[in-house]
Structure 1
């Protein structure tokens, strides 16, 4: 399998990097159109390296822009040997051969945006491919996290995802929406962190091209799903009370990412750059 997957791994990594470039370009263009007289925000781009075996990526973070208070768009391609704890977790999930051979390769894009305006929703998106000597799979998704909810925004976001899923599986949207509702739930708060989206993992139908095409469709749907919402609300007037609601909701988001998020746990356990792994955390947050 390893030799046969070389081309597929190169194609997946290249797609994720190209998607990263398109999104950062679109976000900087939105900053140019943003309200106010301050200079438009720009991404600070930093190469990252994985400790130990190999690989790395690109960490792109923008802070204090006209539209985005903090946004990170990271791309990575890493490989090596899983630490015993991560190897055991993979073996427990039923990954073939993981108990005997802990080698892995992974590539993906990860994005979290926290907005200046409380009426503009925060958002998360990631897609990835994972390979071990015994298996490969895709995973990812996106979810909308408004602190002030607008039904029309939620409808637009979900309608865009539904349209992206439809050509790839008649049940994909319903299945992966339900998975997101479960995955992005915060048990200790008894509530979801936002208004949902889609989430999937361990996707291996046996047809690599079909699963890759679907993952590409999820990534390509992100800008049409989110950008109109950010642009619609970036100049909305807001009060100190709105800002307070935003900061408290960010505390909820931080709790989820530090306690439950799979990507955070995996990144830290496998020695990836900690700043890149934790770029999802908001710049400011409050707890009551």
Structure 2
């Protein structure tokens, strides 16, 4: 029981210390942070992130986050940079160097070459008086009062603070660039995220002969036959000029039966939902899903600029496409 309590106390202490480290960052989002953003926004090349050890792992993640949110970036291992990889960095690039101590030998070794090439340098350190911070055009202060490690040795709070500061930088740049969800999708074309953000209604809707449709005045019985043939659980109802008059779904059928209406005698006009919610073919499928969820419906009619039905889709279509 004591061991259990000790484990819980240790975990909670770690979380508290790391929360405090993140809180300490708030007043440091200042003129230095703004200058770092401005340097990156004006950069004609890429952001090259460097870091050793745990700072390298954090730097790798920061580079990946920047790259996926509109800022071209990649990670270079500083030790490899000293043995040829420095050739990957051009004069148009900007270097973002991470080091908690600010005196990591592998990074300090690169400073003369960075200066000689005229490459602009942003540092992220835990020591604003360190060689790296002093060599940089601007230093982002990521110092922490205490590591979560009880020995105050293993990088814990410091790496969390650097990661959060990197995220703050990436998101500030994203918003400054006006980066959109569609831009984000083009950086993530694979997997569920890409499908959700790139797929359009026209890619999943049933169109042409697959679209169930009947005209106003059609008997409910004939409308049900059309629904059965097309297998979508709904049919659109058309005005004489081809515009959308309404929609009739399986849910409408249940409500019709609850009212005791004779399905053999009724007209579709009596039982359809007038017009109903619609989507456009060029709309993102994720937007169509939101319409369905907001209005608690399972099917949408897709219409053109003249309000003429050109397709239909339901929740099952979005589920199969991986949008939900």
Q: Which has more radius of gyration? A: 2
- TM value normalised by structure 1: 0.26
* Bigger relative CO (Cα 8 Å, ≥ 6 apart): 1
Structure with more strand by fraction: 1
